[in-house]
Structure 1
Amino acid sequence: MDEQLAFSDDLTGSASQLVWRVLAVDDDINFQRATAFALGDMAVLGKRIELIQAFSSREASMLLAEYDDIALVLLDVVMETEDAGLRLVKSLREVIGNRETRVVLLTGEPGLAPAHEVMRDYDINDYWTKSELGADRLLTVLTAAVRGYSQLKVVSSARRGLQMIVESSNALFCSKSTRDLSAKILSEITSLLGLQAEGIVCVRVEDQVLDAAPNARVVSASGRFTNSIDGDLESLQDPQVVAALRRCLLEQQTLNLSDCTVLFFPQYQAGADYACYIASSRTLSSTEMELLKVFSASISRGLHSVALFSRLEEMAYQDDLLAIPNRNALIRMLDMALNSEAKDQRVLVLVDIDNFSGANTAFGTGYGDFILGLVAKRLRDAFDSSVLIARVRDDLFAILGLKEQVCAADIVALFHHHSRAHELGQVHSLSSVTMHLSDFSGSARAALQDALLALKQAKQLGHDQHGIYDPTLQRAHAESYRLLLALRDAVDAGQISVALQPQVDLQTMRVIGVEALARWRNSDGQMVPPLSFIPLAEATGYILLLGDLLMRLALQAAKQLADAGYPQIRVAINVSAPQLLQHDFVERFKSHLVSAGVAPEQVEVEITESVAMRNFDAVCEKLRALRSMGVEVAIDDFGTGFSSLNYLRVLPADRLKIDRSFVLEIGEVSDQQMIAEAIIQIAARVGMQVIAEGVETQQQADWILQHGCRQAQGYLFAKPMAGAELLDWLGAWSDARS
C-alpha cells in the first residue's frame, strides 16, 4: 500500500472522476468472478475501482467505443479465436484511436503468445499469466496502469489545449483593434478552460505613476460586466473583482485563487500591462494553469506583434515546402464548406501528378520539389484568394471553391502546353477527381477520404484519368465493410466450404482431377458469390486466413477421395498472391499436406497469370519448390493478363487453363480469330498441358479436342459439388462408361 502514497495528487485525474474504470475481457466466467471479487473493495491512488466485464472481443469493442475513460483493460489472449485479444488491441489503438487506455494481456497458458513479440508488435503495456496475478501483484499492476493512464490523459489534455491555442491564433490576430482582440481572447479562454463566458474581464493599465496604485481601464468584458467596457476599475461595481485585478497589476504576476484566476501580461511583451480576470467555480488544475501560461505568453507577445502566432499558423496549416495551405487547412475549410448554407455551390477537386514517384526516383528529390513548386504556382496564379489551393500530401493537390470558378478540365489544361514540350519541368499528365459537395453528407475527413478513393479508382485505369465522385461509393464502402465483418463471422461459424468440380480427359472420358472452389452459405441458406468476397478478402489481407482455411478443406477433400479409391484424381487448390508470397508458404503447405495425410502427387496448386507476374523471381522459386515435392502447378485465366511469352517459357508450371471467356467464343467467332487455339499452340510450344474451363456444350468440347486440348471442366460434365455428392457422381460416371 505504500506504493500508492508515492504518487503525486496531480496523477489522479480530474476531481470529478471518482473511480478508475477497469474493463476485464475474458470468456472464462470463473476468472471473471474471481476478478470481480478481487477488485470489489480495492482502491488505487485514492479512488475505488469500477469493474466492467466483457465475455467476448465483440462485446469489448462495443464497450471501448462507448466509454472513453477506461483506464485499464485486463485482456485474455484467446477467446473466440486464438488472436481475438490481439485484434481487439489493434482495434482499440488504430480504429477507435485510444492511446491512453492501458492494456494488460493475460493468458491461462504460459507461452501461448510470445511475450516479446506481442509487446514489440502491439501497443500492450504488460503481460502476465493468470496464475501469476495474485492479489498483491494485481494491486501493483493496477497502480502502475492507472498512473500511466492518468499521465497520458494529462498529456492528451495538454495536447488538445495546445491545438486549440494554435487554432485560435488566426482569430486573435485578425483583430483590427485592442477591444476586438481582447474580446476574442476572452472567448478563446472560455473555450480552452470549458468555462462560462460570464465573469471575464480584461483591463489595461493607463499612465501608471511610479509607486501609485495602478490606474486601469476595462477594454473588454463579458456577462454582467459588459456595461463596464471603457470604464475604470470601479465601474465593475464588484470589490472582490477590483481587488483581485489591482493585486495582479501591483504584484505583476498571475494569480490562481480559489474562485478566480487573474492573468498578467507585462508591458515589455505586450506594450502595456494587461490583466485578465477569469471567474471560476473551481480551482484550475495544474494542466490548465500550464495551458494558461502558454496562452498568456502567446497573447503577451501577440499584443505587441503577431509574428509568433503567424508562425504557429504556418506550422499547423501551411505546407513547409510550397508555402500553401496543407491538409489541416483543407480539412478546416472543407468542414466549414460542408456546414455552410452555400454547400451545394461548392466543389472539391483533387489533382495528382501521374508517375510522380517514378520521376522522383529517376531525377532525384530536387527535381521533384521543382515540379511541385511549378504546379503550386500555376494553381495559385489561376485562382483568386476565395479559392483554396492546398497540398494534401506528396504530389496530391486540392482545389476548393465555387462551381463556377473550379473546373477539373480547366485545371488540367493549365499544364497541357504541347507547344512548349521542351520546357524544364513540364507536367505531361495529371489525373483528377471532382466531388460536388452537394453529393456528400458527412465529415470533412470522410469527404476527403472518399474523394481520395475515387481518385485511386480512376488512376487504376491509367494516366490522365478524370473522374466524378459517385455518392453510391459511400454506400459501396459501407457494404464492403459489412460484408467483411460477415465473412469473418462466417469463418468462425463454419459457413465456408469448398465445392469440387470434376476435370475430364476428353479422349478417355476419365475424371483426372477436381478444382476446389470456395463456397459461402449464409445462416439463412443463401449463397454469397465468390466474386463478392474473394476480392474483398484479398484487398484487406484477410485472404491469408481464408486461404489457409480453404487449403485445409481442399486437402481434406483429397484425403476423402483417396480413401474412397480415387487417389489418381488430383485436387486443384487456388492460391492467391499474398498467400504464395508469404516467406513460409512452402513450409506451411508441407505441414498441411502431412496433417491431412495427402500425397503431394494428388495436389495441384493453381495460380492466376497476374499472380505469376506479381514478383516473377520469387514466384518461380516457390513454384519450383512445390514441383520438387511432386505437386503440380497450373496457370489459371491464361490470356486475360499482360504477361510476356518470354516469361512463360521459364515459368515452372505443368498446365495452362484456358479462361472460360475464350471457350465461350467457340462457334461465335472464326477459327482465325480464336484465342483458345493460340493458347493451345503456345502450351504445346512450351511443353505444358492445357485444360479448358467453362465448357458447357458438346460443340465446345469437340472443338477443343480437335485442336489439341484433351482436358476440360465445365457444366457439360458436372457442376461444382460437395465431397459426398462428388463420390456418388464419380460412381455413376464410372458405371455409365463401363
Structure 2
Amino acid sequence: MDDQLAFRADDQPSSTSPPVWRVLAVDDDVDFQRATAFALSELDLLGGRIELLQAFSCREAALLLARERDIALVLLDVVMETEDAGLRLIKALREVIGNSETRVVLLTGEPGRAPAHEVMRDYDINDYWTKSELSAERLLTVLTAAVRGYAQLKTVASARRGLQMIVESSNALFCSKNTRELSSKILSEIAVLLNLQAEGIVCVRAEEGEGGVAKARIISASGRFRPSVDASLDSLDSPEVAAVLRRSLQGQQTLCLSDCTVLFFPRFQAGADYACYVATERVLDDTELELLKVFSASISRGLYNVALFSRLEEMAYQDDLLKIPNRNALIRMLDMTLKDESKAERVLVLIDIDNFSGANTAFGTGYGDFILGLVAKRLCDAFDGNVLIARVRDDLFAILGPQTQVRAADIVALFRRQTRPYELGQVHSLSSVTMNLGDFTGSAGVALQDALLTLKQAKRAGHDQHAVYDSRLLGAHAEAYRMLLALRDAVEAGHISVQLQPQIDLQTRRVTGVEALARWRKADGSMVPPLSFIPLAEATGYILPLGDLLMRLALQAAKELADAGYGDIRVAVNVSAPQLLQHDFIERFVAHLQAAGVRPQQVEVEITESVAMRTFDTVCEKLRALREMGVNVAIDDFGTGFSSLSYLRLLPADRLKIDRSFVLEIGQVSNEQMIAEAVIQIAARVGMQVIAEGVETRQQADWILEHGCREAQGYLFAKAMGCSDLLRWLADWPRDRA
C-alpha cells in the first residue's frame, strides 16, 4: 500500500540564482528615462537585480508587452502621444493582452490630467505618483511593494493553474476547498465503493503537540462517531478504534484487519499524515482491496490539493510578513459589509505610522519590520474576532468592525506609553481616518481609496492627525479638478495675462519698477482671483507651464516699456519653487530673455520667503547666477514664514518686500509692536533695500518713508493695469493725487 502511495524523487543538487526583476519604463521624456536608468542601475531589490526595459511611446510599449510576458513592473507616464495614452495602454495590457500580473505605477508631471481618485478607481494600477514626489527612497519603496505584489501574483497564478488542471482531471473529491469537506466526501465515497453503511468511519490527522509529541485530531466522522469531530483522538469513546488509528499513524502504514481497514496517507503526498478508519466488519476481497488502493491514490492527491488550496488562500489573503489579513482580505470583507443591512453600525479606520520611511532609512528595514510587527500585535491583542485587522500596504493598517468597538482615539491610545516615552522601538505618532460605512454607497475599492485620500489630506497638516471621512472633501477635489481643466483651457485660449502695478520711490516720486501680476479673465468677462488658481497650479505641477507663460508675458511687457523709453523701469516676475528648482532654470530664463530681447538689468525675480528657505544651498546657487548676469532678486512676503535670520545674511538678494499684512498694521498697532519697522531694520542690517506692498493711505506712505523704506506699491499710487494702460499712466505721472 505504501509503495502504491509513495512517490519519492531522487535527491538532486540544486542551486538558485538571484531573481531578475524586469521593469519597463514608458516615457517620451529622454531625460526622465536617463534618470530612471541611473536610479535603477545598481539597485538590489528583494535579493535580485533589476533589468530595465525602455519604451518612448505607448505604441512601442504595447508591442513589447504583447511579446514579453515576464515584466514585473511598468513605470508609465500618463501623457505621451496623446493626453490619455498611458491610460489607454493600461486598458490594452489588462483587457487586450490579458496580463493581470504585471504591476503598473502611473507617473505624471501634470497630475491634473489624470486625477488620482478617478484613475485609482477606474484603472487596474498599483500606485500613482507625480514625478516630483518620486525621490530615490520613495522609488525604492514603490518598486519593492510592486515587485513583491507581482511575485505573489505570479506564484498564486502559477499555483492556481496547476490546481485547476488537477481539479479538471479528477473526480468530485477535488472540488473540496477544506479538509473537513474533503474528509466527509472521502467517508461517503468509500462507503459507496465498498458497499458499506456510513457508520463507524473516522478520519484523523497527526499534529505536533507540546514537546514535539505527535497528537491526532478527529477532523471528520460519521454515524456514531459524529459527536467526536474536532476532538482529540485520545477522547474517542472507542479505545479499540483509537488504538488502531494510533498504530497506523505511529507505524506510518496501512492496516488491513479482519473487522476494519485503516488507510494511511503520508505527509509527503497529502501535506500531513492522515489516517482513515473504515469499519468493514469483514475481510475485504482482492478486488475490493485493489479498488481501495486506486481510490487511495486519488484521496492522497485530493488531500494535497486541499493543502495547496489553503496555501493559495493564505498567499492571496494573508500578509506575508505579519501573518495577518492583507488588502485583498480587507476588500473582500469590506465588500460583504457594504452589502449588508447592518453596515450603518460598522466603521472602517485606517492608521498610518508617521515618518515610517524615515525610520526605515535611519535604522534599516529590520527595525521597520519590528515596528510593523509591534503595531499588528497591539491591534490584534486589542480586538476580538468581530474586528478585522489588515495590513493594506507598507505602514498602512485597516481596522474594520462595529462602531462600538472600533474608535480611532482608542486605537491611537494603544501606542501611548507615558512611562517610557523614549523607548527605542515604540510608535510615537500615528495618523488615522475614520469612515462610517453607513454614510458610503460605493464599492469596497472606492471606499478604501476615499478613506486613503482623506488620510493623505489630513497628513498634509503634519504628524498625529486624525480625520473623519467627509464626502464633501471629494466634492472639493472634483471642483479643483474642474478648475484645473478650465485653467489649462484658459492658457490655450489666451485668457491668461499679466497686469503691471507700479513701484514708486517715495522721495523722488520716480517709478522704479512694476510687478507683473497674473490675471485670468473668463470668457464671460469675470475674473478668477490668483489665490484660487496659483496654489492649485503649484499643487498639481501645472505651475511649470503656467510659470513659463507668465514669465514670457512679463518679459514682453518689459520689452514694450523699453521700446517706449522706459528701459530703466525694472519688471518684477514671481517665480515659484518648482520653477526655481528645475535643474535647467537658469538656461530657460536666459532663453526667455533672449527671445524677448530684454536686458537682465530690467528684470527682477521675486521669490517668497518659504521658497528661499527650501533647499537653501540650491536656491542660493540659482539666485547667485541670476545676480551675476545683472538680474535683481527680491524676497516677497518676508516675515510671514519662519526663516532663520542667520540664513538671511547668506541669501543673495537685493531687496526685501514688506508684506501687505504688516503695512495694514500702520496706524492700528503701536510702534513698539510694529513688524514693518523690524523688517526695515533687518534689511538695513543685511545690506538689502526694502519695498512695501499694499500701501493704500498717505499715512502708511509717510510712516514707511519716515522709518527708512523709500519704495512702495499699492492702490495709493495705482492698481495693476495692462501694459498699454500703464504707458498712458506713466505719461501723466506724477500727479498730485497721491
**TM-score band, normalised by the shorter chain?**
0.5 to 0.7
Q: Is the 8 A contact 1:316 1:328 kept in 2?
A: yes
Q: CA deviation at 1:425?
A: 1.7
Closer/same/farther in 2, CA of residues 670 and 559 from structure 1, 3 Å limit: same
Give the aligned partner of residue 37 of structure 2: none
Q: CA deviation at 1:164?
A: 9.0
Q: CA deviation at 1:575?
A: 0.8
Q: What do residues 205-263 of structure 1 show as CA deviations (whole Å, max 9, x unaligned)?
A: 95399xxxxxxxxxxxxxxxxxxxxxxxxxxxxxxxxxxxxxxxxxxxxxxxxxxxxxx
Give the aligned partner of residue 657 of structure 1: 657
Q: CA deviation at 1:568?
A: 1.1
Tell me, what secondary structure is at the counterpart of 1:418? coil
**Aligned AA (1:395):** D
Give the aligned partner of residue 93 of structure 1: 89
Q: Which whole-Å CA distance do the structure 2 matches of 1:456 and 1:510 have between them?
A: 50
Tell me, what secondary structure is at the counterpart of 2:193? coil
Q: Is the 8 A contact 1:302 1:309 kept in 2?
A: no
Tell me, what secondary structure is at the counterpart of 2:361? helix
Give the aligned partner of residue 417 of structure 1: 417
Q: CA deviation at 1:555?
A: 0.6
Q: CA deviation at 1:441?
A: 3.4
Closer/same/farther in 2, CA of residues 410 and 567 from structure 1, 3 Å limit: same
Q: Which whole-Å CA distance do the structure 2 matches of 1:492 and 1:356 have between them?
A: 42
Give the 5 Å matches for 1:451-600: 451-600=451-600
Closer/same/farther in 2, CA of residues 329 and 427 from structure 1, 3 Å limit: same
Q: Which whole-Å CA distance do the structure 1 matches of 2:472 and 2:610 have between them?
A: 29
Q: CA deviation at 1:90?
A: 2.7
**Aligned AA (2:355):** N
Q: Is the 8 A contact 1:655 1:688 kept in 2?
A: yes
Q: Which whole-Å CA distance do the structure 1 matches of 2:189 and 2:524 have between them?
A: 72
Q: Is the 8 A contact 1:389 1:399 kept in 2?
A: yes
Give the aligned partner of residue 312 of structure 1: 312
Question: After the TM superposition, which of the residue ranges 625-634 and 695-704 deviates more from structure 2?
Answer: 695-704
Does 1:173 find its partner at 2:151? no
Q: Which whole-Å CA distance do the structure 2 matches of 1:299 and 1:567 have between them?
A: 95
Tell me, what secondary structure is at the counterpart of 1:624? helix
Structure 1: gaps spanning 5 or more residues: 1-60, 62-70, 72-82, 103-156, 183-201, 210-267, 272-297
RCO higher in structure (CA 8 A, sep ≥6): 2
Tell me, what secondary structure is at the counterpart of 1:342? helix
Give the 5 Å matches for 1:609-688: 609-688=609-688
Q: Is the 8 A contact 2:653 2:688 kept in 1?
A: yes
Question: After the TM superposition, which of the residue ranges 475-484 and 413-422 deviates more from structure 2?
Answer: 413-422
Tell me, what secondary structure is at the counterpart of 2:656? strand
Q: Which whole-Å CA distance do the structure 1 matches of 2:542 and 2:453 have between them?
A: 20
Closer/same/farther in 2, CA of residues 727 and 175 from structure 1, 3 Å limit: farther
Q: Is the 8 A contact 2:159 2:312 kept in 1?
A: no
**Aligned AA (1:594):** Q
Tell me, what secondary structure is at the counterpart of 1:87? coil
Q: Which whole-Å CA distance do the structure 1 matches of 2:163 and 2:318 have between them?
A: 12
**Aligned AA (1:609):** E
Q: 1:207 aligns with which of 168, 176, 193?
A: 193
Q: CA deviation at 1:587?
A: 0.6
Q: Is the 8 A contact 2:432 2:467 kept in 1?
A: yes
Give the 5 Å matches for 1:154-303: 173=177, 176-178=180-182, 207=193, 303=303
Give the 5 Å matches for 1:90-129: 90-93=86-89
Q: CA deviation at 1:165?
A: 8.0
Closer/same/farther in 2, CA of residues 166 and 575 from structure 1, 3 Å limit: farther
Q: Which whole-Å CA distance do the structure 2 matches of 1:664 and 1:165 have between them?
A: 73
**Aligned AA (1:472):** R
Q: Which whole-Å CA distance do the structure 2 matches of 1:631 and 1:167 have between them?
A: 71
Does 1:391 find its partner at 2:391? yes
Closer/same/farther in 2, CA of residues 640 and 382 from structure 1, 3 Å limit: same
Q: What do residues 372-399 of structure 1 show as CA deviations (whole Å, max 9, x unaligned)?
A: 1111100000011221111122222111
Q: CA deviation at 1:163?
A: 11
Q: Is the 8 A contact 2:178 2:310 kept in 1?
A: no
Q: CA deviation at 1:709?
A: 1.2
Tell me, what secondary structure is at the counterpart of 1:566? coil
Q: Percent identity?
A: 72
Q: What do residues 498-557 of structure 1 show as CA deviations (whole Å, max 9, x unaligned)?
A: 111111111122211111111111122221221221111111111111111111111111
**Aligned AA (1:536):** L
Closer/same/farther in 2, CA of residues 512 and 158 from structure 1, 3 Å limit: same
Q: Is the 8 A contact 1:166 1:313 kept in 2?
A: no
Q: What do residues 404-434 of structure 1 show as CA deviations (whole Å, max 9, x unaligned)?
A: 1100110011111212336442222222221
**Aligned AA (1:518):** A
Question: After the TM superposition, which of the residue ranges 322-331 and 644-653 deviates more from structure 2?
Answer: 322-331
Give the aligned partner of residue 445 of structure 1: 445
Aligned length: 503
Q: CA deviation at 1:722?
A: 1.3
Q: What do residues 664-712 of structure 1 show as CA deviations (whole Å, max 9, x unaligned)?
A: 2222222222221111111111111111112222222222112111111
Tell me, what secondary structure is at the counterpart of 1:550? helix
Give the aligned partner of residue 339 of structure 2: 339
Q: Is the 8 A contact 1:638 1:657 kept in 2?
A: yes
Tell me, what secondary structure is at the counterpart of 2:434? strand
Scaled by the length of structure 2, what TM-score is found? 0.63
Scaled by the length of structure 1, what TM-score is found? 0.63
**Aligned AA (1:542):** Y
**Aligned AA (1:177):** E
Q: CA deviation at 1:365?
A: 2.0
Closer/same/farther in 2, CA of residues 405 and 502 from structure 1, 3 Å limit: same
Q: Is the 8 A contact 1:166 1:309 kept in 2?
A: no
Does 1:406 find its partner at 2:406? yes
Coordinate RMSD, CA, aligned: 3.6
Tell me, what secondary structure is at the counterpart of 1:421? coil
Give the aligned partner of residue 64 of structure 1: none
Give the aligned partner of residue 111 of structure 1: none
**Aligned AA (2:335):** D
Q: CA deviation at 1:359?
A: 2.4
Q: What do residues 258-301 of structure 1 show as CA deviations (whole Å, max 9, x unaligned)?
A: xxxxxxxxxx8799xxxxxxxxxxxxxxxxxxxxxxxxxx9995
Q: Is the 8 A contact 1:167 1:313 kept in 2?
A: no
Q: Which whole-Å CA distance do the structure 2 matches of 1:160 and 1:525 have between them?
A: 59
Question: After the TM superposition, which of the residue ranges 460-469 and 554-563 deviates more from structure 2?
Answer: 460-469
Closer/same/farther in 2, CA of residues 91 and 597 from structure 1, 3 Å limit: farther
